[in-house]
Amino acid sequence: MKSAVVVFPGINRDNDMAHALEVVSGTPAHMVWHADTELPDVDVVVVPGGFSYGDYLRCGAIAARAPIMDAVRRHAARGGFVLGVCNGFQILTEAGLLPGVLMRNASLKFVCKLVHLRVENANTAFSSAYAAGSVFRTPVAHGEGNYFADDDTVKRLEGEGRVVFRYVDAEGNRGTDGNPNGAINDIAGILNDAGNVLGMMPHPENLVEPIQGGTDGRGIFESVLAAVA
């Protein structure tokens, strides 16, 4: 699997992401600077987490207008895979590649902890390595992860199986304390309509090796690896 990680000023999870991509796929990722206008020939482009442009204006708003994003849009339009994690998810919504927006956490607090995700749709390029309905752990670290979209958009996402991951508690239940940010319908990760762009707030790249405390996050990368094979 050939991959690229897009690097913006203020991004800080780029190396974690590149490491995870290499650990799972065996191939080092290309690091692509935001001012570049072309991507290398890759199967998957990852927009990693961090605080691009210091979260000025709105999280991800300025990064979404960076020169490289036109190349990311072209890659997505060709059917190439795009994964956005945390700030990357915010950037993809601001870039119009995913619907909705990530708002300030309902608690108004930055949340940094392990959460549980339930696989709502295992029939996607990003989740096929998990069993449908299974629950896995991932870390979250964000102040603006409160997913919001208008009613019609949420209905469409739910109806089309595009809510791929949902926050739940350790037992897989909703409505308890599993949702760390107030996201509508406990939405943690969504897919675009073509099924090749996924955005999620949690950080699967930080749980791919036993030394990190578990390998729950590997499934995301293994799924994409299988999809491009």
Query: Which residues of this protein are in contact with another protein, per CB under 8 A?
Result: 57-58, 61-62, 65, 93-94, 99-101, 103-108, 146, 148-150, 182
Helix ranges restricted to H, 144-204: 151-159
205 catalytic, yes or no? yes
Residue 225 CB, nearest approach to another protein (Å)? 33
Neighbouring residues of 38: CB distance < 8 A, sequence distance ≥ 6: 71
Q: In whole angstroms, how close is the CB of 106 to another protein at the nearest point? A: 5
Q: Are 78 and 39 in contact (CB under 8 A)?
A: no
Retrieve residue 14's tokens.
């780029």
86 catalytic, yes or no? yes
CA distance 225 to 229: 6
Q: Which residues pair with 113 in a beta bridge?
A: 140
Which entry of 86, 94, 142, 222 is annotated as an active-site residue? 86
CB of 88 to another protein, least distance (A): 17
CB of 50 to another protein, least distance (A): 19
3-state SS assignment for residue 71: helix
Spatial CA neighbour of 192 closest among 81, 116, 91: 81
Q: Judged by CB, which is closer to another protein: 24, or 62?
A: 62
> H or E segment at 24?
helix 14-25
One of 19, 34, 142, 203 is an active-site residue; which one? 203
Q: Which is nearer to another protein, 57 or 132 (CB)?
A: 57
Cβ 148 to another protein, closest distance in Å?
7
CA distance 157 to 164: 9
Separation CA 195–CA 223 (nearest Å): 13
Nearer to another protein, 138 or 179 (CB): 179
Identity of the residue, 20 or 63, whose beta carbon is nearer to another protein in the bound complex: 63
For the question of residue 144 being annotated catalytic, the response is no
Measured from the CB atom, the residue of 65 and 174 that comes closer to another protein is 65
| Residues known to be catalytic | 86, 203, 205
